[in-house]
Structure 1
Amino acid sequence: MIESAVDSRWFRRYPPPDGDVARRLVCLPHAGGAASAFHGWADHFASGVEVLATRYPGRQERIAEECITGMPELADAVTEALLPLLDVPVYLFGHSMGASLGYEVALRLERDHGVRLAGLFVSARKAPHRVNPEPTYLGGDEALIQEVLGLGGTEAQLIRDPDLFELVMPALRADFRIVGTYRAQPGHPVHCPVVGYVGDRDGGIDPVDMAAWADVAAASFDLTVFPGDHFYLLGERDALLRDLAARLV
Structure 2
Amino acid sequence: MNLGKKVFLLSLLLLLLIVTCVYKHTKEFMNEVSITQGQVANKEEKVQASEIKQSQKKAESEQVTSENNEKHEANLDESIQSNNKTTNDKITKFEEQNQQIEEIKQPDLIILKRKDEGYRRSNGEFFYYELSPKSKEIQDKLYTIMKNEPFIFGKDDGIDYLKINDDLLNKIIKIMQDNPNLKFEIAGHASIRSDDDRYNKYISVMRAANIKKELIARGISKRRMKARGYGDKIPLIQDQIKLFNRIEFNIIGE
Scaled by the length of structure 2, the TM-score of the pair is 0.30
Q: Which has the larger radius of gyration?
A: 2
Between structures 1 and 2, the one with greater helix share: 2
Higher strand content, 1 or 2: 1
Provide TM-score, normalisation by structure 1. 0.30
